[in-house]
Amino acid sequence: MKIDPKTFAKDYQLNICIQCGTCTGGCPVKFRSPLNMRRLVREAHLASDYASLFKRPELWACTTCSTCSLRCPAGVKNVEFIMGVRNYLANKGEVPSTIRDALENTFLQGNPWGRFRDRRVDWAKDLEVKIVGEAATETLLYVGCAPSYDPRVQSVSVALVKILQKAGLDFGILGKKESCCGNEIRRMGEQALFKKLAKDNTNLFKKSGIKKIITISPHCFNAFKNEYPDLNLPVQHYTQVLADLIEARKLKLSHDLDLRTTYQDPCFLGKQNLVFDEPRKILTSIPGLQFAEMERSKQRSLCCEGGGGRMWAEGETKGTRNGEIRIKEAVALGAKVLATSCPFCLLTLEDAVKISGSAGQIMVKDITELVAEAL
Amino acid sequence: MKKIGVYICHCGTNIAAGVDIDELVHLSGKLPGVKIARDYRYLCSDPGQDLIKNDIRELGLDRVVVAACSPRMHEMTFRSVLSAEGVNPYYLNIANIREQCSWVHKEREKATEKAKQIIRAAVARVLRQEGLTARKVGIKPSALVVGGGIAGIQAALTLSNEGVKVSLVERSPYIGGHMAQLDKTFPTLDCASCIFTPKTVEVARNKNIELFVCSEVTDVNGYVGNFSVTVKKRPTFVNTARCTGCGDCVEACVLKKGVPSEFEESIAHRRAIYIPFPQAVPLKAVVDKESCLLLRKGKCKKACVEACKAGAIDFEQKEEVVEREVGSIVIATGYDLFDPRLLPQYGYGVYENIFTNLQFERMASPSGPTRGEILLKDGTVPNRIAFLHCIGSRDENAKSYCSRVCCMASMKQAHLAKEKTGAEIYEFYIDINAFGKGYQEFYKRVREEGVYFIRGKGSEIYKKDGRLIVEAEDTLLGTPVEIPVDLVVLGAGLTSRHDAESVARIFGISRSVDGFFMESHPKLRPVATNVDGIFLAGCCQGPKDIPDTVAQASAAAAEVMSLASRGQIEVEPITASIDPQTCAGCKLCIEICPSSAIDFLEAKGISVVNEALCKGCGACAAICPSKAAKQNHFTQDQVLSEVEGLVT
Amino acid sequence: MNIAVCVKRIPKTAEADMFIEKDGKDIKKDHLVFALNDWDGYAVREAVLLKEKHEGEVTVFTVGPDESKEILTRCLAMGADKAVRIEEPPASDGNRIAKVLYQAIKDQSFDLVLTGVQAEDNGWGQVGVVLAQMLGFAHAALVTHVEIAGDRAKVKRELEGGIDEVIELKLPAVLTIQTGINEPKYISLAAILEAEDKEIKEVGTEEIGFRSDESVDTEIDQVLFPPVTKMAEILKGNPEEVVTHLTEILKKKKG
């Protein structure tokens, strides 16, 4: 699989660029890293020697939030271009060591954290969840790697299972057979591994007789919905499912939560897939909850820097993290809770709370956790 | 015995390089009916045409085939050649061996064979062609001008001054369109109202112009020189004969809070009864049916009626429908502004103090809600203002075209803002489109005045610590920037009107890909449309500044006058006709006719073609089960013979 | 220069549930994920780096069943030129493995033979040194740095306390490679798929002259979990109190 950077101009429409700078202007890491998308596009378009161009560590700072691609007036495929460059580098083995480990771990153990596959369902051991394949069900709750293994995110998985069971929804999880969805793998440049994961997962889903998929992470949601070539199954993010259940009165939220809450739109759910209303509908349905909208919300939500492989590499970014800026904004709103619906946002924002010393002022919670409390 | 002359053009090397002319001449000479076959370097030239004329005269030719370029180029030319020698021009046939042969094929031998086929087909067809006579239609010396903006006004005045009777129909209560909203215009900084008020006043006064405001054209029938249009006049609930425009009713109106004013681009409110602006022509009060409490809910103390000393308010006023017969139509319906809410990254409608360029005009205008002062929503003067270019333009996610005038408008507004507030001004641009007379010089002036130009499109606006932050990249320095400002003006682009589709349908005209009305030819016929007798002027055809609008309006008027002064024109006889003997009255042709050009004669039980409306599409001929309908110049015989010529 | 690298396929056991086989002589491995031994990975990379610097060829050897082919493919993707698998059921006797490898290697003129310091599963650390003895080559173990000059190798060995020992050996030599000697490169799935097309030589032990009926020197008698006892004592109090208490306990237990 030899990739020739000379094809990048055509593949990603680099020659169509009018150098207007909208991409760099809207980039969430523009002040944290020397990454300059506009200049990179121009340099790649005109380059004859790509070796030094692509050796830059800031290429790994990109979070693939896709703000650049979404706003580009000329139609340049910026994010695809970054992924293409990373693919070129990965095939040559030239990736940061932490990315290398994440990719190798995914290949061996089915998750980038390198945790043992058999441990994947430990979080659910007392929950009486159906395992797809052992019991019949048509709806798959695809848990994902972070919600399976990360102790902080496991409470999201537990909460969601309890909510869905309370609402009487029939569903199952894949258990130990579940492997990484591949969304971040693709963004880290391992296109071949992504293709393999997509193929294996698609076969697994189809063989299991599933008719519908619910995901916890917006990243998995994005992969299944937009990037798996042969899936052809309806996919929903859990916020869409919960919003529907609330609408249909199958979920009764009776417990009062007197909390001033704001919400972080995750990039992969919000600006990329336009799911804005459902999370808000859920939050405003919680009795007692006072919802406050952040300054930069919906399409303008500030990326938490968790995507694009950033959970495993810093890309030599420096200075105040976006997470800290976000926490400051939330605190300024008077919010006691910053709600989110993505495991990566959850982890990065909670870290930011600790780093910025705001632990006493604000908590970061996933929407599932709030709903579970309000049940 | 038919005598056909076949003439093969070299067209320099355009044809001669791609096909073997000698072989073509040789073949043509041997075809049935051909008296003579010649070739010539440039047949469309005078000597070329003379060559054909001589042969017609001396050899008694009665049919001619010209094998050359596309008939769209010179069919008319060669038809005139035949007419000049007394031969019916419809005995000409063009064989296109350039665009359809020599220009598109690389192998000379194969191209020559193809050219032979084309000529064979053309000769076979011309044998079956019939002589047709062009119809003459009279042109009424009157015109309808749709839209009372500067384009419509200019067209109407030009026409009326030449004695053409004009019906000027305007949808809003006043004439002047968007230009009436502008403060000063670029590059001369003329006050817009000052320069066009004399024109609007003249429109009101001119005896040859019948002005309809609050009116729309709802139906158009007919054909060039003979249109009948239906105009619907909305009730304004004010008797214009009595109204003096004093404004007492507006003062008295109970809707104190009002509704967003269209003229003020929603930065101010108006009452339910209102006068659009102080210099409005006509200066009459108007009641808005949507917001008037009495009309909507039936309950109001009618303070306006009480206040009106002229007793002009009449809630019983009804809609009026009038018909007018006109010879030509000029469409000058103008533009709408791109709605920046479609691009949520700019926070328009979310944050205060983000305005569109038109809203800024209203602020800058001395008759506007802030009396010409540039103020923030809290009434203070801004210290820093950002102008963002290309909002909704040159954007695959909005409109892909450049809106032409916004760069200049933005710079003009920067100049005004600087003059009025002394604020620090930033222009975020991609390119500076300063193409017109005096425009580059104005750009220089604005730079001299100290306005900062940042080459980088504004990417996002958000609020931090109470200030609006513009995120962009200074691409010339290659560094990303976040500039805190107090006020943002979005350079929203010009788009076609939101109802352009239905207007196009009423008049039967087409729209271009960008949504504006389509001109006949992008370079050579910029004011005509695909419908004879209907012309375009102003921004409804595409974004343009005032000088170009006025020029185009004058051009449209000139076209109308050219028609009117001729008194009559010839209409191509390539229309359909239905043989009354064969017609069974099944009406399939009436159903399929896109021009509604076929009438059914109840008494005789047959269909008959209205030649004036018929566009000659041939649909009726194709669908007629009894072959009663035939398309002149494209009869079944003629078409089939052409096919035979191709395949034999 | 001609370099041989001996590699092993091992199960990854971190976090895994471990079960003892019924006969008590091994752990259950069906549910485990297998990979190239970490130390051997560093050895292969080191060999490839040396080959790139000094020109030559790298041949990887493994002793094991059919399943071992996958790690040879990985080595080929890492830059090895040739791969040889010697068919033998997974053996637990380091001496035996060394004997097999000796048979495979002795007649080919390798300048350098690399192995990892130890295997992740058994961790005996024997094969490299025993092989050196059999081959009669100079050897160094726990190597953290290699430099080749002519017919000599200058290596660093890792000792306790952060001390390095520098040794010069005359080639041919056997080196057992310590982790961290180099920065492993990422091997993409694309590279592995490409390497799957390359040939792997497979030989039986008889072919290379090893008699498989040779007696095994060491046998695993029993594998068991460490006994679980309760020996935790929580020390309470402020840091000073805890330290005093802890010091007393250590003194008493003569630790």
Last residue of a domain, one of B128, B153, B178: B128
ipTM value, please give it: 0.90
Same domain, A60 and A106: no
CB A318 within 8 A of CB A305: no
Residue B614 has what pLDDT? 86
* Of residues B612 and A23, more confidently modeled: A23
* Mutation target vs C (from A98, A107, A176, A196; most C CBs, 10 A cutoff): A107
Same domain, B614 and B537: no
Residue B432 has what pLDDT? 97
B472 contacts on A by Cβ (under 8 Å): 21-22, 25
Same domain, A198 and A105: yes
Q: Which chains touch C (3 or more CB pairs under 8 A)?
A: A
Select from B374, B334, B353 the least CA-distant residue to B516. Answer: B334
Q: Averaged over A11-36, what is the pLDDT?
A: 96
Residue B395, both tokens: 């954007």
- CB spacing of A73 vs B464 below 8 angstroms: no
- CB spacing of A104 vs C186 below 8 angstroms: yes
- Does chain C touch chain B (at least 3 C-beta pairs within 8 Å)? no
Angle, helices A238-247/A367-374, rounded to nearest 10 degrees: 30
The CB-side HSE value for A75 (13 A sphere, CA atoms) comes to: 12
Most confident of A360-374, B570-584, C6-20: A360-374
Same domain, B325 and B366: no
Same domain, A158 and A205: yes
- Closest-CA residue of chain A to B483: A25
Residue range A313-338, pLDDT digits in tens: 999 999 999 999 999 999 999 999 99
Using 50, 70 and 90 to split pLDDT, how confident is the model at A107? very high
Q: Compute the distance between CA of residue B488 and CA of residue B470 in angstroms, rounded to an integer.
A: 8
Residue A186 has what pLDDT? 97
Residue range B110-145, pLDDT digits in tens: 999 999 999 999 999 999 999 999 888 899 999 999
Amino acid at B568: Q
Same domain, A353 and A273: yes
Using 50, 70 and 90 to split pLDDT, how confident is the model at B474? very high
B27-53 CB burial, b ≥16 within 10 A, e <16: bbeebebbbbbbbbeebbeeebbebbb
Does any CB of chain A come closer than 8 Å to the CB of residue C189? Answer: yes
Please report, rounded to a whole number, the percentage of residues in chain B having pLDDT higher than 70. Answer: 100
Residue range A180-218, pLDDT digits in tens: 999 999 999 999 999 999 999 999 999 999 999 999 999
Q: Residue B487 domain-assigned?
A: yes
Same domain, B468 and B510: no
Does any CB of chain B come closer than 8 Å to the CB of residue A334? Answer: no
- CB spacing of A103 vs C16 below 8 angstroms: no
- Domain of A357, CATH number, reads 3.40.50.10700
Residue listed under structure tokens 């001396």:
B58
B491 contacts on A by Cβ (under 8 Å): none
Helical residues (DSSP H) of B490-537, grouped into ranges: 500-507
Using 50, 70 and 90 to split pLDDT, how confident is the model at B571? confident
Residue range B516-545, pLDDT digits in tens: 999 998 899 999 998 889 999 999 999 999
Same domain, A82 and A122: no
Q: Averaged over A32-45, what is the pLDDT?
A: 95
Residue B332 has what pLDDT? 98
Last residue of a domain, one of A91, A118, A146: A91
Same domain, B393 and B456: yes
The CB-side HSE value for C91 (13 A sphere, CA atoms) comes to: 23
Same domain, B40 and B92: yes
Same domain, A257 and A341: yes
B482 CB burial (10 A radius; 0-12, 13-18, 19+)? middle
Q: Residue B137 domain-assigned?
A: no
- Domain of A207, CATH number, reads 3.40.50.1860
Distance of alpha carbon A238 from the chain centroid: 13
Same domain, B256 and B368: no
- Beta-bridge partners for B190: B185
* Mutation target vs B (from A17, A18, A22, A300; most B CBs, 10 A cutoff): A22
The whole-model pTM stands at 0.86
Residue C210 has what pLDDT? 85
Residue B19 has what pLDDT? 96
- CB spacing of B472 vs A22 below 8 angstroms: yes
- CB spacing of B480 vs A27 below 8 angstroms: yes
Q: Averaged over B255-259, what is the pLDDT?
A: 93
Residue listed under structure tokens 């026409």:
B159
Residue ranges making up the domain that contains B624: 576-631
Last residue of a domain, one of B79, B106, B128: B128
Residue range B150-197, pLDDT digits in tens: 999 999 999 999 999 999 999 999 999 999 999 999 999 999 999 989
A129 CB burial (10 A radius; 0-12, 13-18, 19+)? buried
Same domain, B366 and B474: yes
Distance of alpha carbon B613 from the chain centroid: 21
- Domain of B542, CATH number, reads 3.50.50.60
Q: Residue B166 domain-assigned?
A: yes
Average pLDDT of chain B to the nearest whole number: 95
Amino acid at C168: E
Residue ranges making up the domain that contains A51: 5-91
Does any CB of chain C come closer than 8 Å to the CB of residue A79? Answer: no
Question: Of the candidates C14, C31, C185, which has its C-beta nearest A93's C-beta?
Answer: C185
- Domain of B83, CATH number, reads 3.40.50.960
Does any CB of chain B come closer than 8 Å to the CB of residue A20? Answer: yes
Select from A340, A339, A335 the least CA-distant residue to A361. Answer: A335
Angle, helices B636-647/B108-128, rounded to nearest 10 degrees: 150
A39 contacts on B by Cβ (under 8 Å): 478
Q: Compute the distance between CA of residue C254 and CA of residue B186 in angstroms, rounded to an integer.
A: 96
What strands lie across the sheet with B92-96, from one edge to the other? B34-40, B4-9, B63-68, B92-96
Residue C255 has what pLDDT? 58
Same domain, A49 and A126: no
Same domain, B439 and B367: yes
Residue range B194-222, pLDDT digits in tens: 998 999 999 999 999 999 999 999 999 88
Does any CB of chain B come closer than 8 Å to the CB of residue A325? Answer: no
B413 has pLDDT over 90: yes
- CB spacing of C186 vs A118 below 8 angstroms: no
Question: Of the candidates B397, B463, B471, which has its C-beta nearest A25's C-beta?
Answer: B471
Same domain, B483 and B352: yes
Question: Of the candidates A21, A72, A300, which has its C-beta nearest B456's C-beta?
Answer: A21
Select from B161, B269, B265 the least CA-distant residue to B208. Answer: B161
Residue A1 has what pLDDT? 55
Q: Residue B512 domain-assigned?
A: yes
Total number of domains in chain B: 5
- Closest-CA residue of chain A to B388: A22
Same domain, A143 and A41: no
Q: Which residues of B touch A (CB under 8 A)?
A: 344-345, 347, 390, 394-398, 430, 455-460, 462-464, 471-475, 478, 480-482
Does any CB of chain B come closer than 8 Å to the CB of residue A319? Answer: no
Q: Compute the distance between CA of residue C171 and CA of residue C129 in angstroms, rounded to an integer.
A: 15
- Domain of B607, CATH number, reads 3.30.70.20
Tally Cβ neighbours within 10 Å of residue B506.
17
- CB spacing of A90 vs C188 below 8 angstroms: yes
Same domain, B480 and B372: yes
What is the mean pLDDT, run by run of 10 residues, along chain C of 255 residues?
Answer: 95 87 90 93 97 95 94 96 90 84 92 95 91 95 95 93 93 95 94 94 89 78 86 85 90 78
Same domain, A203 and A308: no
Tally Cβ neighbours within 10 Å of residue B564.
21
Same domain, B284 and B324: no
- CB spacing of A193 vs C188 below 8 angstroms: yes
CB pairs under 8 A between A and B: 81
Does any CB of chain A come closer than 8 Å to the CB of residue C197? Answer: no
- Closest-CA residue of chain A to B470: A25
Residue B309, both tokens: 């000393």
Total number of domains in chain A: 3
Q: Residue B313 domain-assigned?
A: no
CB A172 within 8 A of CB A132: yes
Distance of alpha carbon C229 from the chain centroid: 32
* Of residues B427 and B224, more confidently modeled: B427
Does any CB of chain A come closer than 8 Å to the CB of residue C53? Answer: no
Last residue of a domain, one of B128, B151, B180: B128
* Of residues A133 and A34, more confidently modeled: A34
Torsion of CA B587, B589, B592, B598, to 10 degrees: -90
Residue range B7-53, pLDDT digits in tens: 999 999 999 999 999 999 999 999 999 999 999 999 999 999 999 99
A254 has pLDDT over 60: yes
CB B138 within 8 A of CB B566: no
Same domain, A105 and A11: no
Question: Of the candidates A25, A31, A36, which has its C-beta nearest B459's C-beta?
Answer: A25
- Residues 6+ away with beta carbon under 8 Å from B595: B508, B613, B614, B615, B617
Same domain, A351 and A332: yes
Same domain, B71 and B146: no
Q: Residue B242 domain-assigned?
A: no
* φ/ψ of residue C139, rounded to 5: -150, 160
Longest dimension (CA), chain A: 64
The shortest C-alpha distance from C154 to chain A (Å) reads: 28
C185 contacts on A by Cβ (under 8 Å): 93-94, 100
Same domain, A101 and A236: yes
